[in-house]
Structure 1
Amino acid sequence: MAIDTWQLTHFPLATNQLELKQQQDKKPKQSIRTPQYLDCNVYMGNLKMQSFSPFSSLSFFLLLTTPILSGFVKTALTQDGFCSAPSVLDADSDSSTQPLYWKVTNPTLSPSHLQDLPGFTRSAYKKDHAFITPESHVFSPLPDWSNTLGAYLITPAIGSHFVMYLAKMQENSKSGLPPSGVERFIFVVQGSVVLTNMSGNVHKLTVDSYAYLPPNFVHAVETDAAATLVVFERRYSRLENHVTEQIVGSTEKQPLLETPGEIFELRKLLPTSLAYDFNIHIMDFQPGEFLNVKEVHYNQHGLLLLEGQGIYRLGDSWYPIQAGDAIWMAPFVPQWYAALGKTRSRYLLYKDVNRNPL
């Protein structure tokens, strides 16, 4: 087998191995039992491999020196199998330099990633739950809002007693009022907005800020730049001698509450007094943490995963879930969550409270 000068100059290691291979080919073959898994270490800048064949050494070198392919190398091939590549090859774009909740509007598995899979969606709808993912969102002009697109995620058409939707406000946009007798809750996931009421009070709401607006409460939400809100609305269930008030706040200012028997962190964004017929919970899970109770109850839920990823059980279905995914849970559907990945999971959860189910 001829070896040219260019190969001697650029691949001396591979060339020497080729010559050695030629000599070894002349020897009688021996039956050698190799281990099922071969130890293999790969270091960036200092490639170290054990038991590489001449072909695999040359091929792997070419693969690493090809700019287009080097970023996609996830395993190192040996003559006896595969070994894991170091985690340094995994570029994690979800860094602390990104804005809070940025994955809601820029999910890891975005609709653009599924363009070459016609007809595919992770979304699912069943009689007792709905799992709604970003590739299924349908945005259209939001009724009574100006210069705003909305995607309704949950409505009474599926059996809920509340509405949950995303509002994408553009430049110089303004909210409309909900129908008579309907209360509203808004939570900012991207950008900022200005909330005003008929008394002239003005509040600037940034990411992680929220507002509760009582029924028949005149108000306006405006922005001169892009902003994304998640909005909950429901017809208020009145109790005699109890009245709700406008509330403006932010998640970080709410205290952590005790969760007996559980390990997740819980914050409630609204008062627990009888006047309020629903609450919004913020629930945090570290990777590997999960709900201890496999819940089955009369309350309905609307959920938006703000950060992280995990597995959500709904009935007999198990859904991989990522930031940006939404869920509707009907009364008495079995439900359970476990956080996966390397970062915190946080979700926002609607729950009806303080009212007799009858």
Structure 2
Amino acid sequence: MANYYSPDGGLPPQTALLTDRAVVKEAYTVIPKGVLRDIVTSNLPGWDKTRSWILAKPILGFATTFSQLIVEVSPGGGSSHPEAEAGVEGVIFVTRGAVMLTLDGEDHAMEAGGYAYLAAGSDWSLKNSAAHTEAATFQWIRKAYEPLAGYRATSFVTRDQDVTPRAMPGTDDTWATTRFVDPDDLAHDMHVNIVTFQPGGTIPFAETHVMEHGLFVLEGKAVYRLNDDWVEVEAGDFMWLRAFCPQACYAGGPGAFRYLLYKDVNRQIRLT
């Protein structure tokens, strides 16, 4: 069973040095786990007994296509109407605890590793039972859905544990991707996958492409090439990569390095 990172909040002691790995640059941003403290959380309208860490939102010089949040729901908390924008699709990935997702009238008990794609316009709610003893935490990625004539994305629920990772060609299984939707399905205009590197695994070239990325490190550690910098990252860190930001990595071990990856896909570039 994988161990997915979830923040605990709190504050460092007054004796702690403020030196950390946080960096904001034109081509990328790194938000390390050490800054996910109580004082940077935000309440969410329509949610009870819930707090969130907002990792990315569309602002000038940062993310342009998506928002990404860490949401922590205490026992008895949740929302009957989580998504206020009808044209917005979403993905929920549970990293700790358990929640009940009610999606288009059907209940889905989700625990760590649970994954739900929430199509734009779907009717859903989410609760953490008052009978539970711990808070539940999940990643919530949101994007304005771009319709395509003849195609329609539909909601589904699955688990990381039930989807077989696909090894990248020629990598001897050291680099694999857990794909929750078919890459060739044009109904989907975003992919939220899990990428896994075994110790010593690498992206052996500087990827430079139009897709924007949000990467949340679920477990392990690596050194990541971001534009012209090498940056150490570990479980709990978040990276935002602008379109065309060169990127590569080396997995550091001793265990697997895994991250939840967002990218925008399958649409023509709008010019008018």
TM-score (norm 1): 0.68
Alpha-carbon separation, structure 1, partners of 2:14 and 2:257: 27
State the AA in 2 paired with 1:156: P
Q: 2:230 aligns with which of 318, 341, 346?
A: 318
Alpha-carbon separation, structure 1, partners of 2:251 and 2:25: 23
| Structure-to-structure mapping, 1:141-180, within 5 angstroms | 141-157=43-59, 158-175=62-79, 176-180=82-86
Segments of structure 1 that go 5 or more residues without pairing to the other structure are 1-98
Instruction: Give CA-to-partner distance per residue, 1:64-83, whole Å, 9 cap, x none.
Output: xxxxxxxxxxxxxxxxxxxx
Residues 213 and 247 of structure 1 are in contact (CA less than 8 Å); yes or no, is this contact kept in structure 2?
A: yes
Q: Which SS does the other structure have where 1:255 is aligned?
A: coil
Segments of structure 2 that go 5 or more residues without pairing to the other structure are none
**Are 2:194 and 1:268 aligned?**
no
Q: Which SS does the other structure have where 2:34 is aligned?
A: helix
Aligned to 2:125: 220
Residues 154 and 328 of structure 1 are in contact (CA less than 8 Å); yes or no, is this contact kept in structure 2?
A: yes
- Over the residues paired in the alignment, what is the CA RMSD in angstroms? 1.9
Aligned-residue offset at 1:115: 5.0
Number of equivalences: 256
Alpha-carbon separation, structure 1, partners of 2:193 and 2:114: 13
- 1 or 2 for the larger relative contact order (CA 8 Å, sep ≥6)? 2
Instruction: Give CA-to-partner distance per residue, 1:139-183, whole Å, 9 cap, x none.
Output: 121232221101110110123210001001011111322412000
Task: Note closer, same or farther for the CA distance 1:297–1:114 as it changes in structure 2 (3 Å cut).
Answer: farther
Aligned to 1:126: 25
> What percent identity do the matched residue pairs reach?
30
State the AA in 1 paired with 2:243: P
Alpha-carbon separation, structure 2, partners of 1:196 and 1:102: 23
Aligned-residue offset at 1:328: 0.5
Aligned to 1:65: none
**Are 2:269 and 1:357 aligned?**
yes
**Are 2:88 and 1:189 aligned?**
no
Aligned to 2:247: 335
Aligned-residue offset at 1:117: 3.4
State the AA in 2 paired with 1:181: G
| Structure-to-structure mapping, 1:71-86, within 5 angstroms | none
Q: Which SS does the other structure have where 1:313 is aligned?
A: strand
Which of 1 and 2 has greater Rg?
Answer: 1
Aligned-residue offset at 1:257: 2.1
State the AA in 1 paired with 2:19: F
Higher helix share: 1
Instruction: Give CA-to-partner distance per residue, 1:187-217, whole Å, 9 cap, x none.
Output: 000001111134x211111101110111111
Report which stretch shifted further, 142-151 or 259-268: 259-268
Alpha-carbon separation, structure 2, partners of 1:315 and 1:205: 37
State the AA in 2 paired with 1:166: I
TM-score (norm 2): 0.88
Higher strand share: 2
